[in-house]
Amino acid sequence: MELVQMQKSLQDYTKSLFLDGVLDSQFLQLQQLQDESNPDFVSQVVTLFFQDSDRILNDLSLSLDQQVVDFKKVDPHVHQLKGSSSSIGAQRVKNACVVFRSFCEQQNVEGCHRCLQQVKKEYYLVKNRLETLFKLEQQIVASGGMIPAMELGF
């Protein structure tokens, strides 16, 4: 594929993530922080987010599987995930966490289980999409091209 085509694909793909609400403007903020001195900033932060989130989701699964669910343990985890997803612009994950927290507050175990599934679903989705995005970027760079700056006019 030609470089120009790859760049166009990347832009279209990125745009679709915003239009679908998978990402929000905070992701653009992160991109603004990337430059020649920090060319991999976004992928670095996102990778950290993935590692952090994998751990949190694991902890959440364990906590919710207990005989007696300790919501004092569950809620901080959800809060943490809400925070980090918000910080990288993973909007749907964040929103799912918001709902999750309200069920925690109600101490609704059933509801929390459902929420966890929803959070996981959104998380794997954004993870998948971002990994694809980074692959596209890598292909462009490997072909000697530049990553086009994100156009904000949509």
Partner 1 sequence: RGRANENICELSLVLNFNILSSQLLLLLSAMASDGGVSCLRRSEMMSVGIGGMDSPPLDVDEVHVLAVDDSLVDRIVIERLLRITSCKVTAVDSGWRALEFLGIDNENASAELDESSSFRQVPVVIMSSENVITRIDRCLEEGAEDFLLKPVKLADVKRLRNYLTRDVKLSNGNKRKLPEDSPPLTLSPDSPDSSPPPSTLSPDSSDSSSPPLSPVEIISSQLSSPIDDEDDDVLTSSPESSPSPVRRQKMRSPGLD
C-alpha 43/C-alpha 112 separation (Å) is 30
Residue 82 makes contact with partner 1 by CB under 8 A: yes
Number of residues that bind partner 1 (CB under 8 A): 41
Q: Is 134 a residue that touches partner 1 (CB under 8 A)?
A: no
Does residue 63 touch partner 1 according to CB under 8 A? no
The DSSP symbol for 74 reads H
- Give Cα separations from 128 to 29, 76, 78, 105, 124 (angstroms): 21, 25, 21, 30, 6
Q: Is 56 in the site for partner 1 (CB under 8 A)?
A: no
Report the C-alpha gap between 148 and 73 in whole angstroms: 43
Give percent helix, percent strand, percent coil of the chain, each to the nearest 5. 75, 5, 20
Among 16, 38, 132, 143, binds partner 1 (CB under 8 A): 38
Q: Give the binding site for partner 1 (CB under 8 A).
A: 18-19, 21, 23-26, 28-30, 32-33, 38, 41, 44-45, 48-49, 52, 71-72, 75-76, 79-80, 82-84, 86-89, 91, 94-95, 97-98, 101-102, 104-105
